[in-house]
Each structure stands twice: as C-alpha cells, then as structure tokens.
Structure 1
Amino acid sequence: MACYYAIRTILLDQAEIEDFIPQNEGIFRAVDVYAPKGSIFNPNFPRACFARMAQVQRVIDCIIRALAPVMPEKATAGNAATVMSVSYSGFSEKDQNYWVCVEVNEGSYGARATKDGLDTVDNLMANTKNVPCEEIELRYPLRVERYEIRPEQPGAGTWRGMWTCPGSKVSGRWLLFL
C-alpha cells in the first residue's frame, strides 16, 4: 500500500492529470515489495506491529524522499508521516455502559516544488478524519472547550508547508462530565 500511494502521489498527481486513472494491477506491475520475515512489515506470529499505519506512513515519506533527487518537481517536502491518537474512556453511570472516544490527530503535507503544501488535510494515506466537536459532545460525556488550527505560519521557504490539520495540534482542553 505504501508503494502504491507513493507512486500515485508522485506520478499520478490528480491536481495535474485531467483523466481519472483507476487503481488497477497495471500500477503495481513495475513494483516489487520485499519485507523480510520477522520485520515489522512481516512479523512472526504472534508479534504485534503497532497498528501498521504508523510504519506505512513512514515508508511513504521515505519513498517520496528517495525519489526526490530524480523527480524534484514531483516530490513533497517532509510530511507528517505518523498517526497520533488520544483515547478517552469511562463508565457511564446513567447508561450503565463503558464508553471510548478516540480522537485521531494528524498533520498534513509539506510544500511542493512549485506550490504550497495542502492545508488541513489528512496525512498521506490514512482514512481517518477528525470527529466534529458536536458529535463528540453528543455521544460522550465530554465538552470541547476550544478546537482550532494553530496560527503559526508553517514552513519558511519560497513555498510554505502545510497548516496543521484541525485535530493535529489542538489548543485548549477537554472537559469530562461523569
């Protein structure tokens, strides 16, 4: 998956190609992936591999960086190649049930050769999005006091990096009501 994403990002940038190119076997034909047995990408049972997404994000960033010298106009600057989450949990006396709220917080994309990075988007290839404050407050005994994009200007080069995703660097605090 990491190889597919990196290839698609560098070679098939949808912002530059008008035609839709579907995911198919042809995209993978030129790629061979080797993951040694016992590695974090091919662990021996019953070894855990920490929710694979964190490692996959890092591999994507490494592939993009490796291709940057030969395709500098297509590569992005360093990306937020990680996934971080915060979990809140408790027991609701009212409902007599346990509850868990997981807020996945991500960064975004670095600058490109000819334009700024993408603002407030999910990182690399994950399919998670921040949970709206209203939904958190409706479903859980939590109150979101403040939730905002940090105001600091990212990346000081000719083309700036990204503004951090709304969930990635939250200013404020959560209030818990039990």
Structure 2
Amino acid sequence: MVEHYGSDVVQAYMGHVQDNAEAAVRRVLNALPEHGRFQYPFDDGTKIVVHITIDKTTRSATIDFAGTSPQQPTNFNAPFSVCRAAVLYVFRTLVHDPIPLNEGCLRPLDIRAPKGSLLNPDYHAAVAAGNVETSQCVTDALFGALGVLAAAQGTMNSLTFGNGRYQYYETICGGAGAGPGFHGASAVHTHMTNSRLTDPEILEQRFPVLLEKFAIRKGSGGVGASGAAMGW
C-alpha cells in the first residue's frame, strides 16, 4: 500500500481512521449518563470497583478503578493492558457506526487503575488468569456502571484436560446479558472470549473421549425485566 500510494497518503488515512473513531466514541459519551458506579465481587472477597464520570462539555470520560482490591497471591491479577483492552472493547460495542477497532476509540477516555491493584499489578505478580477470567469481570463491571447491559458469565468457562499425549483446551459458551428493551442471547461466546467451540464430531475423532450430552442448560439464566440468556 505504501509503495502504491506513498507513505504520506497512508499515514494521513490512518490518522483519518483514528479521528473518525474518536468522534464516534465522543458521540456515544454524549448520550450516556454523566455518572455510573459498579462493584463486582469475586467468590474469595476480591472486588473490582469502577466509577465512570462523563464530561458532556468535552465529551470525554474518566474510568476510575479506585477501590479495586490490591493485587492477589493468586494468578487472577490482570496487567493494565488487559484492563485497557476491556475498556476499549466495551466502548467500541456502544458505537453503532461500522468503524474498525483502533486507538482513536481511546482518545476521549482517561483510564485509571491504582498501581499494585488487581488491575494494575506490580511486576512479578502472577497474571495467567487475568486475561481469561478477570477481563470478563472488568467487562461486566463496565457495562453495569454504564447501565446498558446485564452481566454475562464473568468467566471464559475454560475447560482443559490432557496427558503426555493429548492436550485439550476449550472455552465453553454461556449466555449474553440482557439490556433495556432486548433479551440476552443464549449459548454464545461473549465479550473478551472470541473462540468457537470444537464440533463434537472433531472432539471425539481426535481425543479418546465420548461426548454424552451437548445442550443448552434450561433455566440457567437470571431473572429480570428482559429475558435472560442460558448457557450450555
């Protein structure tokens, strides 16, 4: 592309793409409530706390995770880059225009997470589950603070087994949260997990296992004004 159009033209259009994304997010901010707060508790007492403040004059927002638990001795700590990616994802989903995901979406957003916290741990903290588990909780907390979507599973539903010869890893889909005026979607991967399930036939062909049942778990969704989604 650079050879065909030249570096200046390519750089200019890359800038246009980011400028357009910035403008799209600012339009979204103008339509959201000025203040939102959500607290997401973990089973072990750890919590994610997020405050969202929107300045309608500048059409910008501060996403502040002050009050979130300190980093933990477990591996559920999420590097700040994971937290930032979750924020980017959430605000991009609120843009209805067909824009590509890019850095321009973050220009109106000031993201703050206390140093040494679960979402901005110090070096050497264990972070293996931060991307596949905690990121989902961050996403649910953000949607909750904005008041636009109920929580999904808060996990990627990771399933793994294996031995010296076979290794298998899967993320099992669940239910997407409902929102104002619409129902949740059942049996889908949501938010920060973007993989597709292995077909049962492929699973049984490649691994020494037999899949006895593969179905939606009826009644597994929550109760609310809109229809709740169910998982497997």
What TM-score comes out, normalization by structure 1 length?
A: 0.73
1:126 maps to 2:193: yes
Match for 2:202: what amino acid?
A: E
Deviations 1:88-110 (A, max 9, x none): 2124xxxxxx2111232242211
1:51 maps to 2:129: yes
Give the length in aligned residue pairs: 147
Q: 1:7 aligns with which of 75, 88, 91?
A: 91
Pair 104,153 (structure 1): closer, same or farther in 2 beyond 3 Å: closer
Contact 1:41 1:49 (8 Å CA) reproduced: no
Q: 1:21 aligns with which of 87, 99, 113?
A: 99
Q: 1:61 aligns with which of 133, 140, 161?
A: 140
1:40 maps to 2:121: no
The runs of at least 4 aligned residues of structure 1 exceeding 6 Å deviation read none
Question: What does 1:80-159 align with in structure 2 at a 5 Å threshold?
Answer: 80-91=153-164, 98-152=165-219, 154-159=221-226
Deviations 1:123-172 (A, max 9, x none): 222122222111111111111111111122734433111121x4xxxxxx
Match for 2:160: what amino acid?
A: S
In 2: Cα distance, 1:158 partner to 1:109 partner:
15
Pair 90,156 (structure 1): closer, same or farther in 2 beyond 3 Å: same
RMSD, matched Cα: 2.0
In 1: Cα distance, 2:143 partner to 2:224 partner:
19
SS of alignment partner, residue 102 of structure 1: strand
In 1: Cα distance, 2:192 partner to 2:154 partner:
10
Deviations 1:22-52 (A, max 9, x none): 2123211011222333333333332211332
SS of alignment partner, residue 33 of structure 1: strand
Contact 1:81 1:124 (8 Å CA) reproduced: no
Deviations 1:49-101 (A, max 9, x none): 13322111111111111111xxxxxx11222111222222124xxxxxx2111
**Partner residue of 1:72?**
none
Fraction of identical pairs, as percent: 32
Structure 1, gaps ≥5 residues long: 69-74, 92-97, 167-178
Match for 1:20: what amino acid?
A: P
**Partner residue of 1:78?**
151
What TM-score comes out, normalization by structure 2 length?
A: 0.57
